[in-house]
Amino acid sequence: MGRRKQGLQLSRKKRNTPLILGIVVIVLLIITASIIFLIRSSNQKKERTATYTQTLSMEANLVEVEGYYVGEGKLDGVKHYIFQVEKDGEKSSDIDVSDMYAELIYVEENSDNKDKLGKVIAYERTYSDNKKHFYYEIYVTKDKVTDIGELSLEGGEDTEE
């Protein structure tokens, strides 16, 4: 009888082994996914806080399109701003930039920035790793920004990121 109990106990262990192995695999997958997420998050934070120098590149007027200066939408979960500028009588095509490289600055009637209302100031930033990007400060009132929803890459237009 002692052998039968031992035999049953061995078979029970064999039955639990796939369950335990499954749990271990799931735990490892969760840990791996968490590590990947943390690495990607820290890389984005590093890029946002990287050391850079910036020089003034351009100051131009925003162009009103359908009653708005700026369209705000999301592409793959990242906020984008789309706008046009005019300088020396020449209008640009659409400028599409992620919020990583642009900032909407809302101007109130009594603010210090009211002389910049309706303007875009572009800076060329050179980062410590010698990468260069334009960074835009967009001065608007809240009523001149419209939500354009989810964006797609259809149409083949270039985007600046």
Residues 57 and 109 in one domain: yes
126 within some domain:
yes
Residues 12 and 76 in one domain: no
Residues 26 and 63 in one domain: no
- Average pLDDT estimate for 114-126: 92
The answer to whether the beta carbons of residues 83 and 93 sit under 8 Å apart is no
- Weakest mean pLDDT among 14-18, 79-83, 88-92, 139-143: 14-18
Residues 20 and 42 in one domain: yes
| pLDDT of 154 over the 60 cut | yes
- Average pLDDT estimate for 98-125: 89
Residues 45 and 92 in one domain: no
Residues 67 and 143 in one domain: yes
List the domain range (segments joined by +) for residue 2.
Answer: 1-49
Position 157 scores a pLDDT of 47
pLDDT band at 21 (very low <50, low <70, confident <90, very high): confident
For the chain, give the mean pLDDT: 81
Pairing state between β 78-83 and 85-87: unpaired
